[in-house]
Copies of this chain bind each other. A is one copy, B any other.
Amino acid sequence: MDIQIGLRETLIAAALRILETESEEPTLRSVARAAGVSAMAPYRHFPDKAGLMAAVANRGFEMLRSVLVIADDKPDPREAVFAQGMAFIDFARANPALFRLMYSHQYGHAGIDAVRDTYDVLARRIASILPMHAVTAATLACRSLVQGMATIELAGRLAPAERDDVAVALGLFVSGLGAGLG
């Protein structure tokens, strides 16, 4: 008796595997093919293609969160924030297609739970540096900064010279954290 995992999980895994190698969003049919089922089989487990993709994106946020948690393991808070930022960008570089899927507006209204968990790791760290009233804004700023650098780089809009500035820019931001309060 084999270990049986449902088709639902198989489909998500197949989609993730395709996202690793292809740079475009997979077609529903290609995912079904990779899972060894017919083109209509996924509809037994997801309402439509967007439903499957939202589940995949959710999985992506869980992966991202675990990466951030590991990066966060530093004694110095600013160092931890910096490490989280770099880990975020490295994740985007390593999984460009998945990363784009995660922030595609088409799937924005599903799987919000995983997103919040993901950014809590950062918010908690920033709360240990800044006064309470500045935490949400600073967290948003940090999140946006790395998100923006990742988006710009993945869109091919970064000159080669600027590519090295990513870490510098993040360092600049982290150093400046808390400077503009009063």
Partner-B contacts on A (CB < 8 A): 23, 96, 100, 103-105, 108-109, 112, 115, 134, 136-138, 140-141, 143-149, 151-152, 154-157, 161-162, 165-166, 168-181
Cβ-defined contact, B108 with A172, below 8 A: no
- Please name all residues of chain B whose beta carbon is closer than 8 Å to the beta carbon of A115 when the two chains form the complex: 157
Q: Nearest B residue to A182 by beta-carbon distance?
A: B175
Say what secondary structure dominates the interface of chain A.
helix
The 8 closest A-B pairs by CB, nearest first: A175-B180, A108-B156, A148-B148, A144-B148, A176-B176, A179-B179, A147-B148, A141-B169
How often does this chain occur in the complex, in copies?
2
Cβ-defined contact, A105 with B140, below 8 A: no
Cβ-defined contact, A141 with B145, below 8 A: yes
Cβ-defined contact, B155 with A104, below 8 A: yes
Cβ-defined contact, B105 with A169, below 8 A: no
- Please name all residues of chain B whose beta carbon is closer than 8 Å to the beta carbon of A96 when the two chains form the complex: 105
A33 to chain B, nearest CB (A): 23
Cβ-defined contact, B143 with A152, below 8 A: yes
Q: Nearest B residue to A130 by beta-carbon distance?
A: B172
- Report if A144-B145 is in contact (Cβ < 8 Å); known contacts: A136-B162, A176-B177, A177-B176: yes
User: Given the complex of chains A and B, what is the CA–CA distance between A136 and B149 in angstroms?
Assistant: 13
Partner of A148, one of B112, B136, B143: B143
User: Given the complex of chains A and B, what is the CA–CA distance between A5 and B178 in angstroms?
Assistant: 54
- Please name all residues of chain B whose beta carbon is closer than 8 Å to the beta carbon of A145 when the two chains form the complex: 141, 144-145, 148, 173
- Report if A165-B146 is in contact (Cβ < 8 Å); known contacts: A105-B156, A109-B156: no
